Chain A
């Protein structure tokens, strides 16, 4: 049973471009969470999704950021018109049910130049 798969592992974007981060949860997991870790900081909750539904996006910036978890395929975190401050490690986690511990992917390190 493969773990949570995130790709790409590293992503470099110029200011103003779009960044797309993908996350395939563990098999059988229908709950997906995205977190952002800025340098020297902890993990900040961004969004919680179930299949085709956004349950809680209270941690996600209102502009430029969006997330989806379609019926088929991976969850996508999309950042439009990236700025230098978006440079961070973005982690995805999944769990089989609500309220259980989540399993994390290895993260995508986004660098905006």
Chain B
């Protein structure tokens, strides 16, 4: 039962352009969403989050948008940099008991 889906396994973007990573979820009980970034051979690192009562949260180059009616969220990175190349995981959380992750999207930012 995949409650969080990241349908694009990979994405390639030119440096300086916008990267848009998408995520769909099925569990309407999620009240908190998170994005994590992961480099090879390292653990995931927290990037940005959004509460289900909001539709946008911004932190520097990173913005997360939430569309509850469509059960969809997206992460925008502007401008993209080569150092952003990593695997990005979308996750949903219900009351903090457990966080459910998607399969991840591998982002390649070309110089």
Contact = CB atoms under 8 A, between A and B. Distances in A.
Interface string A74-96: 00000000000000000101010
Contacts of A107: 42-43
A27 to B, nearest CB: 17
Interface string B37-66: 000011111100100000000000000000
Interface in A3-58: 4, 6, 33, 35, 41-45, 48, 55-56, 58
A69 interface: no
Nearest to B94: A99
A105 B97 CA distance: 19
A45 B99 contact: yes
Given A42-B89, A42-B104, A106 B43 contact: yes
B98 A43 contact: no
Contacts of A44: 101
Given A42-B89, A43-B89, A104 B43 contact: yes
Interface residues of A, number: 28
Q: Which of B42, B44, B45, B104 has the most A CB atoms < 10 Å from its CB?
A: B44
A99 B93 contact: yes
A98 B97 contact: yes
A35 B38 CA distance: 14
Contacts of B46: 101-103
A42 B43 contact: no
B97 A106 contact: no
Contact of B98 (A42, A59, A97, A105): A59
Contact of A33 (B99, B102, B104): B99
A43 B101 contact: yes
Contacts of A41: 103
Nearest to B104: A42
B73 interface: no
Of all A-B residue pairs in the complex, the 3 with the closest CB atoms, nearest first, are A99-B96, A104-B43, A98-B96
Interface of A: 4, 6, 33, 35, 41-45, 48, 55-56, 58-59, 91, 93, 95, 97-107
9 contacts: A4-B43, A35-B101, A42-B89, A42-B102, A42-B104, A43-B101, A45-B101, A98-B95, A106-B41
